[in-house]
Amino acid sequence: MSLYTPTPFAMQDRAAIARLMHEHSFATLVTPAAPEPLVSHLPLLLVPGCEPHGTLLGHFARANPHWQHVREVQSIAVFHGPHAYVSPSWYGEPDRMVPTWNYATVHAHGLLEIVDDAVEARGIIAALVQRFEAARATPWTFKREERERDVLMAAIVPFRMRIRRVDAKFKLSQNRTSDDRARVIAALRGEDYPEAHETAEWMLRYTDHPDEPR
């Protein structure tokens, strides 16, 4: 399964790709299967520096049958970045335009490896907890008596996914003029929902727009 990516929207900047996967880590994991693909929504932690594109860490609930069908078949983790509606009225020639949507997304392809080793499995959970708790004033920690900890760990299935290929699409009005991009950015900043404001910030950072500070 490949991502439709016209040339203007193809993103090759590895730092930008890693940023999206880090900041928008709640992903959609898809694994081909019959009679229909398996789909799970779960947080994934990117570990950079391993393999050409890094490694993803995560876990299934053991009751989720998805984990039983991931061996020897390539899965895709879809990371959904900032996105927002773009009105034709924001362009310099609105009568010649149509409604569209600006967004950024990353598709990471790879084989999932179920982690059976107890110590390594606990390490994956510790890494996930650290990722999402570290910024809190009083971070929660996974401290339990050994028996209770083992019961909780038995209810999940940790895994790693070594990323073999990354498809990244940042559709941020690159096919429009600098003036039109400036209008879209200004309009998104004036919208009343956070995703629009974040989309404007990503447009500033990842498109050629010399008139605006980055």
Number of domains forming the structure of the chain? 1
Q: In whole angstroms, what is the distance from residue 90 CA to residue 190 CA?
A: 12
User: Which range of residues forms the domain containing residue 168?
Assistant: 7-86+98-177
- Does residue 130 fall inside a structural domain? yes
Q: In whole angstroms, what is the distance from residue 142 CA to residue 121 CA?
A: 13
Q: What is the DSSP letter of 158?
A: E
Task: Please answer whether residues 188 and 84 qualify as being in contact, where contact means their C-beta atoms are separated by less than 8 angstroms.
Answer: yes
- Does residue 154 fall inside a structural domain? yes
* pLDDT at residue 203 in the model: 97
Give the CATH number, domain containing residue 155. 2.30.110.10
Which token pair is 25? 């880590």
Which token pair is 54? 């890094």
- Does residue 115 fall inside a structural domain? yes
* pLDDT at residue 209 in the model: 54
Residue that is written with structure tokens 């907890």 in the block:
129
Q: Which residues of the chain have pLDDT under 50?
A: 210, 212-214
- Does residue 185 fall inside a structural domain? no
- Does residue 194 fall inside a structural domain? no
